[in-house]
Structure 1
Amino acid sequence: MGYAKRILGNGDGAASAVGDGIIPSDPQTEQFRRNLGSEARAAAARHIVTQALAFADEAESRIVALNARIRQLEALALTDELTGLLNRRGFHEVLHRNLLSAARYEETGLLAYIDLDNFKSVNDRCGHAAGDEVLRTVGSFLSRSIRATDYAARLGGDEFAVLFVRADHRPARDRAREMLRDLGKLRIACKTHRISVRASLGLAAYTGETQIEHLIDRADRAMYADKKNGGRAARLTTLG
């Protein structure tokens, strides 16, 4: 009866008749409405936060994947695809960085240029697949033969380079010549033959005062002099 009176009104204009379509607005009802509104707003806020967190997680995952892809592309840009060694661009970056380090910390090192002899004859006699296998084998040999702090590169074609960093000149020269001798022990299958690898070697030492262009030129000229003179390097031959 009390509820009906609240609905129908008590004559003082505080409430309207049911027929007028006005919903009663006593304190309990208003509190109920406020509670419903607060819960709805809280639920909506939780939903927004959940969506924002999910979006943030997805964005973070995409950023991680994108950064990994960027690093992969950067590595590819500096790496020779056939051998896995540094390419010319990557090697020049390494060379530049280590010459700066040498200038700052008074370090010394050695640049070795290695050029395979008569490599064209391998492609002509055994095919390009055999030539690629020779290059891969040489690249793998150089990777295994250097210290973790040194660098090996395929500069293009049949030309390779090794940078001995923070190394005394004489021991580095001895190591480079030893590597050249061991290179000559490699044998690669070619149809019914075996390919014996021979190469020419050019060495150029550097200090903190060495300019990169001068260092490269000296190593390159030394390598061609070795090739011309036949020096320590024989030729890349096909053995029966």
Structure 2
Amino acid sequence: MTEILNKGDLVAASGGIVPAAVLAEELTSDLPEDLAEARSYRRLLEDALSMAMEARAELADAQRRVAVLEHQARTDEVTGLLNRRGFEAAMESALARTRRFGEKGVLVIVDLDGFKAVNDTHGHAAGDLVLSAVGSILSRHTRDTDAVARIGGDEFAIILTEATLDGARKRVRCLDQLLNYATVPWHGVQIPIRASFGTVPYGPKDQAETLFSRADEAMYARKRSRAS
């Protein structure tokens, strides 16, 4: 829809985009041209059309601003991934689909190992660069239909939608290798990335809270096995 600012601007009609004045003239063409009331009515109609189009343009602009704010509210500013709020919404949506359609999937929790030492040794800017690199690897090596998030600190989560446990384990092994062999350059040094994964399938009877708890337990078990 085209925005109107004056009588010469365009409006949308059933036959296409036409000037407001032309549309007003068409709508009043059966009125006697010499009547002052007809001329006044035509001017009022032109103004009403222009005001209506201005209102529509302002509404569209407000809707765009709301969409931007909603995106910011569910997006992590460091990585560009979903934040915890956005991820929880995605998890509830995935569970709703599995309850309605029987769709199954897998929840993956990813926690960075030794991340505090990165911040302590190199500073928070270096830590943010590591987080950004992790987010980039996770998003590049998952599907568009999957949901990837930084859910807090150095913890990430992935919803692998419509995935079997065997298929998810293959994907996680790939992500595990990619992350644990990656380094991030920082002022002449290479900061190694280390991460542990926890993987649990979900189905129609699962709840988000218990899924997160089970995935966390699996991740910490993996972390302990690496430390031993």
TM-score tier after normalising by the smaller chain length: 0.7 to 0.9
SS in 1 for 2:81: coil
> Residue 183 of structure 2 aligns with which residue?
187
Q: Does 1:221 align with 2:217?
A: yes
CA distance in 2 between counterparts of 1:168 and 1:103 reads: 16
What's the % identity of the aligned pairs?
43
Answer yes or no: is the 8 Å Cα contact 2:105–2:159 preserved in 1.
yes
SS in 2 for 1:230: helix
> Residue 150 of structure 1 aligns with which residue?
146
Displacement, 1:130? 0.9
1:34-60 Cα distance to aligned partner (Å, 9 max, x none): x89x53211211111111111111111
Q: Does 1:209 align with 2:205?
A: yes
Alignment of 1:138-177 (within 5 A): 138-177=134-173
> Residue 113 of structure 1 aligns with which residue?
109
Q: Read off the aligned partner of 1:145 and give its amino acid letter.
A: H
Q: Read off the aligned partner of 2:82 and give its amino acid letter.
A: L
Displacement, 1:118? 0.7
Alignment of 1:76-91 (within 5 A): 76-91=72-87
> Residue 50 of structure 2 aligns with which residue?
54
SS in 2 for 1:160: strand
CA distance in 2 between counterparts of 1:40 and 1:176 reads: 78
Q: Does 1:68 align with 2:56?
A: no
> Residue 7 of structure 2 aligns with which residue?
none
Displacement, 1:199? 0.4
Tell me which stretches of 4 or more aligned residues in structure 1 moved more than 6 Å: none
Q: Read off the aligned partner of 2:169 and give its amino acid letter.
A: R
1:47-79 Cα distance to aligned partner (Å, 9 max, x none): 111111111111111000000111111111111
CA distance in 1 between counterparts of 2:95 and 2:132 reads: 28
CA distance in 1 between counterparts of 2:180 and 2:165 reads: 23
SS in 1 for 2:197: strand
Q: Does 1:196 align with 2:173?
A: no
Displacement, 1:183? 1.0
Answer yes or no: is the 8 Å Cα contact 1:110–1:163 preserved in 2.
yes
Q: Does 1:136 align with 2:135?
A: no
Q: Read off the aligned partner of 1:162 and give its amino acid letter.
A: I
In our comparison, the structure showing a higher alpha carbon Rg is 1
> Residue 8 of structure 2 aligns with which residue?
none
1:56-107 Cα distance to aligned partner (Å, 9 max, x none): 1111110000001111111111111111111101111110111111112222
CA distance in 2 between counterparts of 1:186 and 1:56 reads: 57
Answer yes or no: is the 8 Å Cα contact 2:137–2:178 preserved in 1.
no
- Structure 1 residues not aligned, in runs of 5+: 1-34, 235-240
CA distance in 2 between counterparts of 1:122 and 1:213 reads: 30
Q: How many residues align?
A: 197
- Structure 2 residues not aligned, in runs of 5+: 1-31
Question: RMSD of the TM alignment (CA)?
Answer: 1.6
Displacement, 1:229? 2.1
Q: Read off the aligned partner of 2:136 and give its amino acid letter.
A: S
CA distance in 2 between counterparts of 1:39 and 1:157 reads: 74
